[in-house]
Amino acid sequence: MSCGLRNLGQTALGVWESAYAQGDPNSVHKEERSPHVAETSQRLLVKMGHTVRKAVLHDVTVDIHEDIDEDENIRTMHQAAEIFDPETEYAYKYLQMFSACCVSFAYGAKDSANAAGPYAANWYVYNNSEIKATGRTPCPMWILTLAAFGIVCGLNTYGYNMIRVLGVKMAKMTPSRGYSAELSVALVVAVAVYFQLPISTTHCIFGAEIGVGMCESFDNGTNWALFAKTFIAWCFTVLISGLFSAFFFAAGEPFQPNNPVLT
């Protein structure tokens, strides 16, 4: 029995050594396939890189002024607008940078808090098993950073849609007009945040642009059709958001454990 096992082992060892010396056909095929696999992987990585680059830079490469040539109403609105002195508009470019920074500060205090506030409250309840009835709920810095990162990513990818609506379709915007609108929005939002009033920043910028357009011309200075469509969308979004929120909460409520500490 032992001799048979010894002979079987020697035979297997000899076959393995022979295959090692002559080259295993499977290993040869693997070596032959490895350059092709590497080339395919490289092409896939390059394609993914181009896709990511296109998505990141899409906001920069889109022509937001193409609607002026395609839409007759928008073209008429822009042609009817008063043309100011180019040197004056050039000087207002730097003032608009300042007003844009003010708006960004106000939006950070408003829109970032909209996203970070509920999450910070849930995080506090999750860690402490209690609801903070008085005082302010602490908000970790990483939650604020995550909210700010989300705002930047959204602006860099799909922000061109709102830039096109507010900067081209709603009213003609130039540095002087944009400075006036942005400065008023920054002031209103900052005051509302100070008094803890949950206003909408989108409503503010729409109102500011309508004011600029009405100073231009009540009939042709503002795209009233777009404003009507936007106003209707505001009404429906409040209702639809409430329905979706109720649906998600009702769907998850049966699976939530009943914590007597919180009740």
Query: Would you give per-residue pLDDT tens digits along the chain (263 residues)?
Result: 444 444 544 554 454 445 444 444 444 444 455 566 667 777 777 778 777 777 666 666 777 778 787 888 888 888 888 888 889 899 999 999 999 999 888 888 887 777 888 888 888 888 887 777 666 777 888 988 888 888 888 888 788 888 888 888 888 889 999 999 999 999 999 899 888 888 888 889 889 999 998 888 888 888 898 889 989 998 899 899 999 989 988 887 776 666 555 55
The single-letter DSSP state of residue 169 is: I
Q: Is residue 195 part of a domain?
A: yes
How high is the pLDDT of residue 97?
92
242 falls within a domain: no
Number of neighbours of residue 191 by Cβ within 10 angstroms: 12
On whether residue 247 sits in a domain, the answer given is no
Q: Is the pTM of this model over 0.75?
A: no
Instruction: Give domain status of residue 126, yes or no.
Output: yes
Contact between residue 140 and residue 154 where contact means Cβ atoms under 8 Å apart: no
Q: Decide if 72 is inside a domain.
A: no
State the pLDDT at residue 186. 92
Whether residue 263 is contained in a domain is answered as no
Rounded distance between C-alpha atoms, residue 137 and residue 120, angstroms:
7
Give me the pLDDT at residue 41, please: 73
Instruction: Record the tokens describing residue 73, joined without a space.
Output: 């109403």
Instruction: Please tell me the distance from the alpha carbon of residue 45 to that of residue 88, in angstroms, as a whole number.
Output: 49
Residue 65 lies in a domain: no
Q: Please count the residues of the chain.
A: 263
Which residue range forms the structural domain that includes residue 93?
83-224
The total number of structural domains that make up the chain? 1
Dihedral (CA of 244, 246, 250, 253) sign: positive
User: Which tokens hold the place of 176?
Assistant: 């002087």
Domain annotation covers residue 229: no
Please give the pLDDT value at position 185: 92
Residue 38 has a pLDDT of: 66
What is the structure's pLDDT at 116?
A: 84
Q: Which residues contact 86 (CB under 8 A, 6 or more apart)?
A: none
